[in-house]
């Protein structure tokens, strides 16, 4: 049965076709004969509690010369859609949170929203991993600069990062005694006039196995894709993120990878997190990506997979 599918995403005209997971989903939906509609953040509205969006009919093709065509945008009741795919990139700021409330109104009206909007609000991609202490490296989340300095001194080397970033932005690698540590903490904590921190910051013990890659493991309804994309730092860069210049290399899942996925999967299912990306360095889970996980196109190309097809198989089995 053909479904009406609306996707909330960043501007489609600016995507990179070879790397864009949202585009892979759109191509698969088109292949299956579903009707596609497009919206951006500014197209959402609530009218007397009813969720509306300014939707544009969308056609897509895998052609760098012209990969999409939009029809006339019209305001429509979102409850007319069968499926809403929430693929807006972070930051998960106030406006993102408000968007989830509009999508939740559509969900109450019977629309299948992927991922569940309540879970998007509740599951910060950095903090959610801490619900699985058996899987993570030593970690501290604090606004207190002194505690963060003590954490770095205790472990000798650590990674500091904000709670709302993506693509490797705002991440620092620091060693005990580094003369730049105070400056890093001032930046991350956004310190107030009396030295107090205004923003929670996360510190994780540095994991040397980052040299072999920061693995992205994709899960669909809690089931892991059998290959991960190891994002390997290049040159003097310690970050493996593709957006920070990392090289992507597909690798089979290890036994430890599968164990981590099994630890996390029941909670993902419980929360309605149907498409999720785990970040694993060495033996440790570092993040759980729930907003707009990527790496589908790279894994499909390297291993002849159709990961978006697996997602739509799941969606079509449970369309509401």
Mean pLDDT of the chain: 93
Please report, for residues 166, 174, 211, 249, 313, the alpha-carbon distance to residue 235 in angstroms, rounded to integers and kept in the order given. 21, 18, 10, 16, 40
Total number of domains constituting the chain = 3
Same domain, 143 and 68: no
Same domain, 84 and 160: no
Which parts of the chain are beta strand (E)? 4-9, 35-39, 44-47, 50-60, 68-70, 74-77, 83-87, 112-114, 139-142, 157-162, 172-175, 201-205, 214-220, 223-224, 227-232, 247-252, 275-281, 284-289
Handedness of CA 291, 6, 297, 41 (dihedral sign): negative
* Residue 291: inside a domain: yes
Q: What percent of the chain has pLDDT over 70?
A: 93
Average confidence (pLDDT) over 204-231:
95
Give the domain-ending residue among 121, 146, 164.
121
| Residue 270: CATH number of its domain | 3.30.470.20
Bridge partners for 298 per DSSP = none
Given a cut of 50, whether residue 320 has pLDDT beyond it is no
φ, ψ for residue 243, nearest 5 deg: -65, -20
Give the domain-ending residue among 188, 205, 222.
205
Give tens-digit pLDDT for 161-171: 988 876 667 88
Give tens-digit pLDDT for 234-257: 766 665 555 656 788 999 999 999
Instruction: Give the predicted TM-score (pTM) of the model.
Output: 0.92
* Residue 126: inside a domain: no
Show the tokens assigned to 283: 């033996």
Q: What percent of the chain has pLDDT over 90?
A: 84
265, 219 contact by CB (below 8 A): yes
| Residue 107: CATH number of its domain | 3.40.50.20
* Residue 129: inside a domain: no
What pLDDT, on the 0 to 100 scale, is given for residue 245?
A: 65
- Give the dihedral of Cα atoms 288, 289, 290, 291; nearest 10 deg: 150
Same domain, 143 and 80: no
What pLDDT, on the 0 to 100 scale, is given for residue 300?
A: 98
Report the C-alpha gap between 248 and 214 in whole angstroms.
9
What pLDDT, on the 0 to 100 scale, is given for residue 164?
A: 80
Same domain, 20 and 90: yes
| Residue 160: CATH number of its domain | 3.30.1490.20
Give tens-digit pLDDT for 19-78: 999 999 999 999 999 999 999 999 999 999 999 999 999 999 999 999 999 999 999 999
Nearest to 90 by CA among 169, 153, 187: 169
* Residue 127: inside a domain: no
Same domain, 64 and 110: yes
Same domain, 245 and 285: yes
State the catalytic residues. 126, 161, 216, 231, 239, 279, 287, 289
* Residue 240: inside a domain: yes
Range of the domain at 201: 138-205
Give the domain-ending residue among 190, 205, 220.
205
Strand 227-232 to strand 247-252: parallel, antiparallel, or no bridges (unpaired)? antiparallel
* Residue 133: inside a domain: no
Same domain, 157 and 244: no
């Amino acid at each position: 049965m053909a479904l009406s599918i609306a996707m909330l995403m960043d501007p489609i005209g600016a995507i990179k076709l070879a790397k864009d997971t949202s585009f892979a989903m759109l191509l698969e939906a088109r292949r299956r004969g579903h009707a596609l509609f497009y919206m951006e953040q500014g197209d959402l509205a609530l009218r007397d509690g009813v969720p509306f969006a300014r939707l544009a009919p969308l056609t897509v093709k895998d052609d760098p010369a012209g990969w999409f065509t939009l029809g006339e945008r019209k305001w429509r009741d979102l409850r007319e859609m069968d499926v809403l795919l929430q693929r807006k990139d972070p930051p998960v700021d106030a406006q993102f949170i408000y968007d989830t409330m509009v999508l939740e109104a559509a969900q109450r009206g019977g629309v299948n929203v992927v991922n569940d909007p309540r879970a998007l609000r509740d599951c910060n991609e950095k903090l959610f991993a801490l619900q699985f202490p058996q899987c993570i490296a030593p970690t501290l989340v604090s606004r207190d600069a002194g505690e963060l300095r003590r954490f770095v001194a205790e472990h000798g080397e650590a990674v500091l990062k904000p709670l709302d970033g993506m693509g490797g932005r705002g991440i620092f690698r620091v060693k005990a005694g580094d003369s730049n540590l105070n400056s890093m903490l001032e930046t991350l904590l956004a310190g107030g006039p009396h030295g107090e921190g205004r923003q929670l910051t996360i510190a994780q013990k540095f994991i040397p196995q980052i040299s072999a890659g920061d693995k992205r493991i994709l899960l669909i309804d809690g089931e892991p894709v059998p290959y991960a994309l190891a994002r390997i730092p290049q040159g003097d860069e310690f970050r493996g993120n593709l957006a920070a210049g990392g090289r992507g290399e597909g690798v089979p899942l290890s036994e430890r990878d599968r164990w981590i996925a099994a630890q996390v999967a029941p909670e993902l299912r419980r929360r309605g997190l149907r498409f999720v990306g785990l970040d694993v360095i060495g033996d440790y889970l570092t993040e759980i990506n729930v907003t707009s996980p990527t790496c589908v196109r790279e894994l499909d190309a390297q291993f002849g997979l159709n990961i978006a097809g697996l997602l739509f198989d799941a969606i079509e089995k449970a369309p509401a």
